Amino acid sequence: MTATQPSPTAAGSGANASAAFRASTARRGAASTGQERADRLIRRTLEAVHEVIREEELTYPEFQAVKRWLMEVGESGEWPLFLDVFVEHEVEAVAAKAQHGTLGTIEGPYYLPDQQRLPAVATLPMRADEKGDRLVFSGQVRDLDGNPLPGAEIDFWQADADGYYSGFAPHLPEGNLRGVIVSGDEGRFAITTIKPAPYQIPTDGPTGKMITAAGWHPWRPAHLHLMVRAGGHRQVTTQLYFAGGEWLDSDVASATKDELVLTPDRQDDGSYAAKYDFVLESA
């Protein structure tokens, strides 16, 4: 990254992620939990915290540092970022136990609804001088019996070659590298985009400071995000990664799965081609 590259500060991307999350729960509806389950979940969570305090003999200064940090996470709007990086993978793993077809993984904080609808063979909206190697990502959407699903929606979003997401970085045009591709005959699609770069958690906010304090790294491997949906079928939210890419084995968000790794082929013109078929189960 060059010094002139505008950076999506934690404050900017965190606050936007909070607004996007509020809008998405308003749209999707947040489930409520009965008192018995609330009692159990809250009590067990507090007990787990108490156990760490007891066993690690947490000091008052450490407690005050934690309090300050928690306040900062809220004030900077980083709760969606923090929770999606460090907690969502476990929720997804529980959900995955009851799911068939293409494996899901975490959604993360940067999905935006209502993006441009595109035909089955399409180029994602991008800048005229969009950096990065061209990637043609193609495949087919089918049901569990192998029947093709034409008219399926592949709701697609990714970071640019510098690792920034449109809508969460002020220097990027709205809708950049986002789109809803509708599968054609035989459920096929081919999306022209660019190969994304690894993503670094903003290091200037409380999530980044925590990572630094613990001596961890803030990286996710390069990835594409997708939600695939078709009438009468369960929607799958997933990500695809790139074989041989950095951080594949140490994703800070613990969201990689072997089955979700693409092996792109380099074409004669220097571009890459990668294929992936999606399999949806009945709703």
Residues of this chain that bind Fe ion (CB under 5 A): 108
CA 106 to chain centre: 6
In contact, 182 and 117? CB cutoff 8 Å? yes
Binding mask 164-203 for ligand MBD (x = CB under 6 A): -----------------------------------x----
CA 176 to CA 204: how far, in whole Å?
A: 24
Instruction: Kindly state the smallest distance separating residue 178's Cβ from Fe ion, in Å.
Output: 12
Q: How far is CA 195 from CA 67, 132, 179, in A?
A: 40, 6, 16
Instruction: Kindly state the smallest distance separating residue 105's Cβ from ligand MBD, in Å.
Output: 9
| Residue in the shown chain whose Cβ atom is closest to Fe ion | 108
Binding mask 216-235 for ligand MBD (x = CB under 6 A): ----x---------------
55 CB burial (10 A radius; 0-12, 13-18, 19+): exposed
Q: Choose the one of ligand MBD, Fe ion, none that binds residue 84, judging by a C-beta under 5 to 8 angstroms depending on kind.
A: ligand MBD
Q: Which of 78, 84, 143, 162 binds ligand MBD (CB under 6 A)?
A: 84
CA 11 to CA 152: how far, in whole Å?
A: 36
Q: Which residues make up the interface to ligand MBD (CB under 6 A)?
A: 81, 84-85, 106, 108-110, 199, 220, 253, 255
